[in-house]
Amino acid sequence: MECEPEIRRRLQEAGQEQLLRFWDELGPGERGSLLGELKLLDGRELREHCRRAQDAYVRESSSPQRLDDRMRPVPPEFLGSAMKSPPEELTTWEEEGYHQISQNKVAVLLLAGGQGTRLGVTYPKGMYHVGLPSGKTLYQIQAERILRLQQLAGEKYSTRCTVPWYIMTSEFTLNPTQKFFEEHNFFGIGRADVIMFEQRMLPAVGFDGKAILERKGKVAMAPDGNGGLYKALADNHILEDMEARGISYIHVYCVDNILVKMADPVFVGFCVSKGADCGAKVVEKSYPSEPVGVVCQVDGIYQVVEYSEISPDTAERRNDDGSLTYNAGNICNHFFSLDFLKSVAGTLEPGLGYHVAIKKVPHVDEEGNLVKPVRPNGIKMEKFVFDVFQFTKNFVAFEVAREEEFSPLKNADTVDKDTPTTARRSLLWQHYRWALKAGATFTDANGCAIVDVSGFPEVGDPPAVCEISPLISYFGEGLDEHLNKKDISSPFMLEIQRVLEEMKI
């Protein structure tokens, strides 16, 4: 098989002829696969992509631009809080959220295209289980929360309702995710209500501006970031599907947050009540220099400012009440109206800039030997999902408690933050608090009472192991009938099977 002249011409035009360096050494299957990849790369776009990556790398290597003098915090009138807003307001927002869910107007959209390299696994993060007594994976936990949420909304309004689950995957995660869901019968969710689609892939680029060969017959590709969502929505006709289902509001979140409240009625209701087209959940920064992005205004336009873009003095700045001025930590948890997504995907998406990720990219050297680099050698270009804040006409932010809603799984247990251990502990501490609030008491293996430490700092494992199925409680509700005035021996699992057996008795 000869290389098509058009492909050679296109690569020469882009200055990327090195991608055919090993053509003569490839077998028929490898040649066919490589041609398939190269046909998807427009010459002009490839040239521009590689130039943009190299230029961005040079900028990234210089000192970051400081935004201190141009920043302002989110105005109080556009900021709600699960901890500080009046209880009657929270109840009103929750009722509004449940009403919208009961009318089939709310969908959830999961960002699940990442490779999970920091976690050290070769399969999608959603298939990971962090060591819970139940052995449940992130996908199963999230699926069961959706099922319980549908049940709660349906009971409140005497109707049957559906929260469709859209899952954005990538070349790396689509097939294994599809297979995993099929093997588990979609965790009880109707197959038609789980819609998977794929984001685009972009070539990884060397510091010399040349696209990298992962193997002799394979271009090194990477997902275009979670901001690739908007292009993927258009490419895969997802917005048309949402419109056909009558969806008006979409909750977007990342797969790795074990505490995520999908389609949270309070958050959805808050955003709808405020007439928002775009909203963000935020958590209070743990400390001034915590390396998280901050949701704020820059020159009057909403955006996420990274910690590297502000000075230590600005990070330390405090209000009169002692709270940090720039305290709204971004957790990649967002609300969008369908109309807003349509406008972004339709005309505004090209205005999103790219961000640079410097990575260790496996590649073949000049002699064709496979190299696994020990230090970063390549540039991956990404867009971020929150970059669309700049286009919003009515933006709101909603503060939630970190210990209740944010515990990401990003790293292997070789570090001490955002690991399987910290994720597991976060969930078990939450369920321990729920059980105590419902009136349960815990005993150890010897029948001795376990001291209530729920008011103390949560360090290490909770004193009692208690896991509560999302099928029984979405966020701590309805547990009194199961746990009030009951002595529970640790470890304890409250699963739907146990409840059904008790009902029979």
Q: Taking the domains of the chain in order of start, what are their residue ranges?
A: 71-202+222-284+330-351+382-402, 420-504
Residue 301 in tokens: 């336009």
pLDDT tens by residue, 86-130: 999 999 999 999 999 999 999 999 999 987 778 989 999 999 999
Please tell me the CATH code under which domain 420-504 is placed: 2.10.10.100
Residue 4 per-residue DSSP state = P
What is the CATH topology of the domain spanning 71-202+222-284+330-351+382-402?
Spore Coat Polysaccharide Biosynthesis Protein SpsA; Chain A (3.90.550)
Dihedral sign, Cα of residue 439, residue 445, residue 447, residue 452? negative
The model's pTM is 0.93
Cβ–Cβ contacts within 10 Å for residue 272, how many?
21
What is the pLDDT, as a whole number, of residue 505? 42
Long-range contacts at 308-315 (CB < 8 A, ≥ 24 apart)? 308/64, 309/64, 309/65, 309/66, 309/67, 310/66, 310/67, 310/68, 310/71, 311/66, 311/68, 312/288, 313/68, 314/68, 314/71, 315/288, 315/289
What single DSSP character describes residue 76? G
Tokens of 36: 């398939």
Mind giving me the DSSP string for 360-422? ---EE-TT--EE--SS--EEEEE--GGGGGGG-SSEEEEEE-HHHH--B--S-TTSSSSSHHH
β-bridge mates for residue 382, sequence order: 355
The predicted-structure confidence for 182-236, as pLDDT tens digits, reads as follows 999 999 999 999 999 999 999 999 999 999 999 999 999 989 999 999 999 999 9
Tens-place pLDDT, residues 240-286: 999 999 999 999 999 999 999 999 999 999 999 999 999 999 999 99
CA-closest candidate to residue 229, choices 260, 251, 246: 251
pLDDT in tens, 406-440: 999 999 999 989 999 999 999 999 999 999 999 99
The per-residue pLDDT for range 21-66, each reduced to its tens digit, is: 999 999 999 989 999 889 888 889 999 999 999 988 888 777 667 8
Fold agreement between 71-202+222-284+330-351+382-402 and 420-504 = no
For residue 276, the tally of other CB atoms under 10 A from its CB is 23
pLDDT bracket for residue 499 (50, 70, 90): low
Q: How far apart are CA 311 and CA 470, in angstroms?
A: 42
The whole-number average pLDDT for the span 356-378 is 93
